[in-house]
Each structure stands twice: as C-alpha cells, then as structure tokens.
C-alpha cells in the first residue's frame, strides 16, 4: 500500500506540456526560428532562485530531441534483445525512460564540459558524440568498442567528447567528478563537470565529503542525482530518510527538475552551468524513471506494480512529450515522426551488423591500460613471460 501511495506522485499529465507561441509548418532539419515552450512544472529550488519555466527552442532542436531520444530508446531495446541472445554478457543496465536527462543536458553544455556517470551509461555516451557502432561493439566485447571491447556495458568512455565513464562502483564517480572540476578550475577553464549518480548512491558518505570539498573551493561541479526512485529493488523512501535529494547539500543550492521533460533539463543545466562557474557547486535532482529493471537480471516487476510502469509511460514519457509538442506546433506530421522512428530502427540494425564484424580483443590486450605506464607498476603479456614489474 505504502509503495502505491508514494509512487502515485510519479504520474504527471503529459497534457501539461504547454506551448506559448504559435508556429507554421516548416522544414524541420534546419529551421532555427525561435519557439517558446514551457516546462511541464515549475522548478523547486533550495537556497537559490529557480530559473524561468519559459524555454527558447527551435524546430531544429525539437526534431533533434525527438530523433536522439528515439535512437537512444531503440539502442536500449536492441541491447535487451542482444543480451537475451547471449551476444552481450555480464552486467547490463538500460536507460530507457531516462533519455530526456541525456539530451536535455547536452543541449545546455559543450563537449569541453565533462560528464561522468555510473554504469547506466550507454545513452550518455551517445549524447557525447559516441557512435552506435562503438556502443554495440563495446556491449558485445569487440575491438571496435569505445573501450576496445574491454570494458563492456558499464565502462563506456570517450575522453575527447568529455565523457569520463562509465563506473561500476556505486557513488565512486562523484569524487572523480569533483576531481575533474578541480582540474577545470586549476587550469582556469570556463567549463564545468556534471557528476551523475542515482538515488541509491545519494546517501553515501563519499558524496558528502566530495561535495564539501567542492563547496570549500568553489569548484565548477554540478551533482546530478538521477532519481529514478529505486536503487535496485529498493524504493527511495525505504533507503532515504529525506528523499528530497536537491536539498541534501544543505549549504549547497539545489534544484528539483522534471527529468522526463528534456526542456526542463536543458533549462536547469544551463542555469547550473552559469551558477557553478560563478559560485561553485549545485545539486540538480532529476525526477525520472527507468522502464527496465535495474539490470538485465532484474525483471523489474517484483518491487513495483505494472500499473506504475504503464502509468509513467502514458503520462510522462519523454519522447511522447516531444511528439506532442511537435504535433501541437504542426512542425511535422505523425507520419513524418513515424518515418524518423523507422529510420532510427534501421540505423540501429545496421550498427549491430557492423559491430558483429568487429573481432574480439587480442589476448595481449588483457594487460594493457591496466596500470599507468612508468608509474609504479607495469604488467603485460597474457602468458606472463613478459611480465615486468617496476616499483617506484
């Protein structure tokens, strides 16, 4: 009963996606005429004034949001099938439902800004400019993967795109993210780091220790709590005395954001970047939801009701929100949107076919990139014949 009572707040009508400027039918790929949209609900702020609900966009951006999220969704559904076909092994955590966080954040920042996250990392990698072929190759443990097939689902990485992983130890990416923000400040760069973590990680001590240092040194760090309301099978209210994660920084300001609304995410991230560069850290709590279970070994239906999942799909789905906006503005027809989804499906299928052609890593790769070269310890050679250890 308690689960049902608490989770009913997850539902919020998609119909609240209102628009304020009328528009005409336009070719969507390049139309940059300004359109104004309003976020689903107002932001709730802690220790700061919230940004406006009114967000500037264009046809081009709306269509990009639709396409990018449709691509991410399709990639995750395909990963589910590949896992069941045993072409992906090991851990695999899917992001479908949470796509608006990835696309909204990207729309507000540049690739010079850093993102670091936990193991639910496939879609964030795509957002940072990673390709589908690199993603599927990594998932299937192939050489063509973004981590040369040696990391798998939890360890996607793209340094040149400002993406620092992909981490399997819950919460450990947050202090690393604060380190990235320290480096940005130290190098006098005008860039920030977004360190993402889940509601399950939000109660860990290391998070508060890192936040304290970030606040002491006014580091350009944004802590993004992706609150999908469950840490594995544990509902947030069973794990946190205060699940108002945007307030948990106490002296650090925070903002609660509808993480199912890409425009709310964009607005919040823009606000957070400006704030962090001027004043230091900030917490963004993204109210979001994952449709899949925690990982591929969790059917995801024992600790929550099917009605809850289908209710969120119907009322708050991030892709459907954009579809509704596009149709309300007559920016594209239903058929054109369906065609985009078809195109995306083909793109995913082609990428999988290409990834399957990529060979498995060579055995000697087992020991490369494990230790920093010439820094204490160096090991290589799977037959151990060449094993060499250098102590400092």
Ligand X SMILES: Cc1ncc(C[n+]2csc(CCOP(=O)(O)OP(=O)(O)O)c2C)c(N)n1
Number of residues engaging Mg ion in binding (CB under 5 A):
5
User: Binding of ligand X at residue 198 (CB under 6 A)?
Assistant: yes
Rounded to an integer, what distance in angstroms lies between the CA atom of residue 324 and that of residue 82?
A: 31
Q: How many CA atoms lie within 13 A of 134 on its CB side?
A: 16
Q: Which is nearer to Mg ion, 44 or 234 (CB)?
A: 234
User: Binding of ligand X at residue 24 (CB under 6 A)?
Assistant: no
User: Binding of ligand X at residue 294 (CB under 6 A)?
Assistant: yes
User: Binding of Mg ion at residue 295 (CB under 5 A)?
Assistant: no
Which segment (78-86, 136-144, 223-231, 333-341) binds Mg ion by CB under 5 A? Answer: 223-231
Which segment (117-125, 146-154, 200-208, 317-325) binds Mg ion by CB under 5 A? Answer: 200-208
User: Binding of ligand X at residue 79 (CB under 6 A)?
Assistant: no
Which segment (57-65, 226-234, 243-251, 366-374) binds ligand X by CB under 6 A? Answer: 226-234
User: Binding of Mg ion at residue 98 (CB under 5 A)?
Assistant: no
Q: Which is nearer to ligand X, 61 or 226 (CB)?
A: 226
- Checking phi first, is residue 20 left (phi over 0); if not, alpha (psi -120 to 50) or beta? alpha
User: Binding of ligand X at residue 232 (CB under 6 A)?
Assistant: yes
271 binds, among ligand X, Mg ion, none (CB under 5 to 8 A by kind): none
201 binds, among ligand X, Mg ion, none (CB under 5 to 8 A by kind): ligand X
Other beta carbons within 10 angstroms of residue 360's beta carbon come to 11
Contact string (CB under 6 A) for ligand X, positions 240-279, x = contact? ----------------------------------------
User: Binding of ligand X at residue 168 (CB under 6 A)?
Assistant: yes
Which segment (57-65, 191-199, 278-286, 373-381) binds ligand X by CB under 6 A? Answer: 191-199
User: Binding of ligand X at residue 228 (CB under 6 A)?
Assistant: yes
170 binds, among ligand X, Mg ion, none (CB under 5 to 8 A by kind): ligand X
Strand partners, 168: none
Contact between 126 and 71 under an 8 Å Cβ cutoff? The reply is: yes
Which segment (1-9, 56-64, 199-207, 344-352) binds ligand X by CB under 6 A? Answer: 199-207
169 binds, among Mg ion, ligand X, none (CB under 5 to 8 A by kind): ligand X
User: Binding of ligand X at residue 129 (CB under 6 A)?
Assistant: no
> Rounded to 5 degrees, what angle do the CA atoms 79, 230, 234 make?
115
Q: Which is nearer to Mg ion, 197 or 271 (CB)?
A: 197
Q: How many CA atoms lie within 13 A of 78 on its CB side?
A: 26
User: Binding of Mg ion at residue 198 (CB under 5 A)?
Assistant: yes
Rounded to an integer, what distance in angstroms lies between the CA atom of residue 291 and that of residue 1?
A: 21
50 binds, among ligand X, Mg ion, none (CB under 5 to 8 A by kind): none
User: Binding of ligand X at residue 170 (CB under 6 A)?
Assistant: yes
Q: Which is nearer to Mg ion, 59 or 288 (CB)?
A: 288
Q: Which residues bind Mg ion (CB under 5 A)?
A: 198-200, 228, 231
Q: Which residues bind ligand X (CB under 6 A)?
A: 120, 168-170, 197-201, 228, 230-232, 294
């Amino acid at each position: 009963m308690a689960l049902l009572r608490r989770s009913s707040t997850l539902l919020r009508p998609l119909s609240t996606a209102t628009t304020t400027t009328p528009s005409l039918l336009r070719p969507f790929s390049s139309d940059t005429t300004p359109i104004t949209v309003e976020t689903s609900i107002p932001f709730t702020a802690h220790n700061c004034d919230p940004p406006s609900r009114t967000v500037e966009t264009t046809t081009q951006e709306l269509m990009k949001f639709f396409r990018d999220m449709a691509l991410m969704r399709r990639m995750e559904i395909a990963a589910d099938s590949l896992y069941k076909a045993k072409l992906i092994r090991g851990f695999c955590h899917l992001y479908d439902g949470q796509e608006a966080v990835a696309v909204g954040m990207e729309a507000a920042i540049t690739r010079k800004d850093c993102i670091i996250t936990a193991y639910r990392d496939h879609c964030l990698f795509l957002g940072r400019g990673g390709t589908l072929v690199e993603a599927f190759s990594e998932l299937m443990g192939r050489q063509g993967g973004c981590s040369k097939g040696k990391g798998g689902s939890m360890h996607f990485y793209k340094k040149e795109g400002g993406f620092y992983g992909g981490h399997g130890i819950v919460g450990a990416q947050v202090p690393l993210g604060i380190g990235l923000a320290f480096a940005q400040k130290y190098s006098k760069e005008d860039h920030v780091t977004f360190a993402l973590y889940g509601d399950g990680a939000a109660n860990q001590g290391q998070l508060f220790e890192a936040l304290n240092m970030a606040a002491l040194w006014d580091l350009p760090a944004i802590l993004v709590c992706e609150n999908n309301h469950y840490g594995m099978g544990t509902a947030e209210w069973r794990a946190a005395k205060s699940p108002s994660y945007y307030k948990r920084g106490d002296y650090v300001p925070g903002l609660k954001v509808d993480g199912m609304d890409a425009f709310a995410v964009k607005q919040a991230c823009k606000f957070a970047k400006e704030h962090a560069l001027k004043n230091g850290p900030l917490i963004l709590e993204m109210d979001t939801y994952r449709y899949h279970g925690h990982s591929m070994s969790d059917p995801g239906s024992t600790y929550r009701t099917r009605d809850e999942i289908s209710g969120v799909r119907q009322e708050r789905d991030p892709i459907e929100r954009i579809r509704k906006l596009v149709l309300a503005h007559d920016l594209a027809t239903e058929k054109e949107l369906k065609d985009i989804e078809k195109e995306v499906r083909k793109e995913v299928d082609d990428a999988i076919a290409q990834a399957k052609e990529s060979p498995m890593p060579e055995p000697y790769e087992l020991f490369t990139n494990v230790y920093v070269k010439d820094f204490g310890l160096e090991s290589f050679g799977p037959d151990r014949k060449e094993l060499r250890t250098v102590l400092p």
